[in-house]
Structure 1
Amino acid sequence: MNIKPLTLLTTLVIAACSSTPANQTNSLGVLNSTWQLVELTGQKISVDAPPYLVFNDEGKVSGFAGCNRMFGGAEIGQGMQIRFSNLATTMMACPQLTLEGQFMQMLEKVDNYSLSGDSLSLNKARMAPLARFKRLKE
């Protein structure tokens, strides 16, 4: 087989450009855990059953919103970007839905995250964190 050097070089350059750089990942692997809400819009959460999120490698997020189970999509982009999509909850009747409503609204606003050990912050632009979570040991 006779491959011209220029053809081989062009093929290698195209392949290298099409792969995802090591520092840019769309995998949720870095967040794969259960994250319990500890603070929402600067207010400490002190309820018997606080909301939590569970991320997986397939771009899905699920969890508990305060009364109902929730689920949807989550996508990580370059530079600590995160976006939640197609979020939905079950429709159980609960005496108090205020926290759940605030939690779900927060998820719609988030555009980036920061991670420090077992602490996760969900943020909007460069404002103060919208929510803070702690990693639950499994």
Structure 2
Amino acid sequence: MRAYKPLFFGLIFLLLAGCESTKSLNPLSLLTGNSWALSSLMGKGLDMNQFVGGIPSLSFLDNGRLAGFAGCNNFSGNFSIEGSGINLDPGAMTKKMCPGSGEQEFISTLAKVGDLKVAKDKLILLDGATELMSFVPKKD
């Protein structure tokens, strides 16, 4: 019976470790399962005077397509994931004239994103270890 005890604990450890690593290897299913609403930008809460058209959002679609709302204008582009890294290309954007600087700050910050952390209830976009933006699932 003693010989089986280490084997039992070893199997439990492998099962738990395997489940956790599987989640971190495939963030795509968590990304595409939600539309994401911006909750912070450059470590600060949102100033709604900068986003008069509404809260910016991102949607990660099939085949590496990206769609979003920047606070005034909509955009449609691409994204790609490699390991914990992400590349975002907002692509084409509508051209409405909008007051405030929030939209431009949002788009320029998207260009700096190189890494991500994603869970069911939060998406964090980073530049290395620096948090640039955080998002929560969008409530429709």
- Shorter chain as denominator, the TM-score bin is 0.7 to 0.9
Give the aligned partner of residue 37 of structure 1: 38
* Alpha-carbon distance in 1 for matches of 2:109, 2:35: 18
Give the aligned partner of residue 10 of structure 1: none
For structure 2, the 5+ residue unaligned runs are 1-21
Matched, 1:92 2:96: yes
For structure 1, the 5+ residue unaligned runs are 1-21
Alignment CA distance shift 1:86-1:118 (3 Å): closer
The aligned runs of 1:43-122 (5 Å cut-off) are: 43-47=44-48, 49-78=54-83, 80-85=84-89, 87-96=91-100, 98-122=101-125
> Once the 2 structures are TM-superposed, how far is the Cα of residue 117 of structure 1 from its aligned partner?
2.9
Q: Give TM-score scaled by structure 1 length.
A: 0.73
* Alpha-carbon distance in 2 for matches of 1:126, 1:87: 26
Q: Is 2:40–2:133's contact at 8 Å kept on the other side of the alignment?
A: yes
Let me know the Cα RMSD of the aligned residues: 2.0
**What percent of counterpart residues are identical?**
31
> Once the 2 structures are TM-superposed, how far is the Cα of residue 30 of structure 1 from its aligned partner?
2.5
Q: What are the superposed Cα offsets for residues 27-70 of structure 1, whole Å, 9 maximum, x if unpaired?
A: 83320111000100011014261100011121011110011001
- Total equivalences in the alignment: 113
Whichever residue aligns with residue 57 of structure 1, its letter is: D
Moved over 6 A (4+): none
Alignment CA distance shift 1:70-1:121 (3 Å): same
* Alpha-carbon distance in 2 for matches of 1:121, 1:136: 14
